[in-house]
Amino acid sequence: MKIFKSVPLLLLTILLLLSTSSGAIAASTTELTPSVKAAFDLTAATADGPARVKLTSLYNDLSTLKLQYDQREEQIRILHYNNEQSLVGVRQQIKGIDLETVTRLEASVKSSKQRYQPLFDQYSTLNKRISIAKSLKDKTLNTVLRAQGDAMKILVQLARQEISDKQNQLNAAKKKRSQKIAEARKTLSGIESPQITIKSNKSVITSLNKRVSADWTDFKAAIRKQNLTLTTQSLAALVSGYRQIATHKQKIIELEQKVSLVIANTKKQIS
């Protein structure tokens, strides 16, 4: 009881708050709560002038960096979400390049083949009859059938030419479509490099977050014990960690913006 009486009531309250919430805070991100600020102020108050100024400056830097951390995190989240949605859309657009034209030409070729198939069948049957008549050496029948065959041959040639022309149009349209799709996909592949670099930066941030979490634990322990040296060291480490994270987050923002630009250029190319 004598120990508790020697501790100011405010500090005791702060210690209780820190001890009951330390587990949750350690498991989450850095949170500069009023209780943490109050404990820090008590610790900083025990330092001499220059040391106190340095501590206060570091704490203010941490507060600013923490706010920046959250803002950039949200900016990255929005950019990434928008890019993912845009990617779905542009990939669908690529699949749809000239699809309507190709589908229409395919239908036209199919329709022509179906329309002229009875003619082709009749011509084939007629040729068989001509062959039979020739074997029978029936000159009259052979002459009549050949006349019919010659007349029908012209119609068959015209029909085949129409189908051939439409098939050539279809083949050309398919080739053009394939080229456009290849070119669009080549442009869109420009997202791959920034996406790889984004993953690399995120990996670094994950490591830095683990370090920041450990520094945060040290910082809370330091202000709880009013240990000026450990408070200064852990606070400086936190500021350094958050500055490095801020740099990597800014890189991710710029990379996501590059992805956005590539997607926009691809859309412009296929529009």
> What's the CA gap between 157 and 154, in Å, rounded?
5
pLDDT score for 35? 93
pLDDT score for 125? 83
pLDDT score for 11? 41
> What's the CA gap between 244 and 214, in Å, rounded?
15
Q: Show the tokens assigned to 13.
A: 């309250």
User: CA torsion 240→246→247→249, rounded to 10°?
Assistant: 150
- Among 146, 148, 155, which Cα is nearest to 120's? 155
> What's the CA gap between 36 and 38, in Å, rounded?
5
**Length of the chain, please?**
271
Q: Hey, where are the domains in the chain?
A: 2-94+189-270, 98-184
Taking the whole predicted model, whether its pTM rises above 0.85 is answered as no
pLDDT score for 136? 65
C-beta of residue 69 within 8 angstroms of C-beta of residue 245: yes
Give the other-Cβ count within 10 Å of 57's Cβ.
Answer: 12
pLDDT score for 246? 95
Report DSSP letters for the chain, one per residue.
Answer: -HHHHTS-HHHHHHHHHHHHHHHHHHHS-----HHHHHHHHHHHTTS-HHHHHHHHHHHHHHHHHHHHHHHHHHHHHHHHHHHHHHHHHHHHHHHTTTHHHHHHHHHHHHHHHHHHHHHHHHHHHHHHHHHHHHHHT-HHHHHHHHHHHHHHHHHHHHHHHHHHHHHHHHHHHHHHHHHHHHHHHHHHGGGHHHHHHHHHHHHHHHHHHHHHHHHHHHHHHHHHHT-HHHHHHHHHHHHHHHHHHHHHHHHHHHHHHHHHHHHHHHHHHH-
Tens digits of residue pLDDT in 202-233: 999 999 999 999 999 999 999 999 999 999 99
98: left (phi over 0), alpha (psi -120 to 50) or beta: left
- Positions of the chain with pLDDT under 70: 1-29, 132-142, 145
pLDDT score for 88? 96
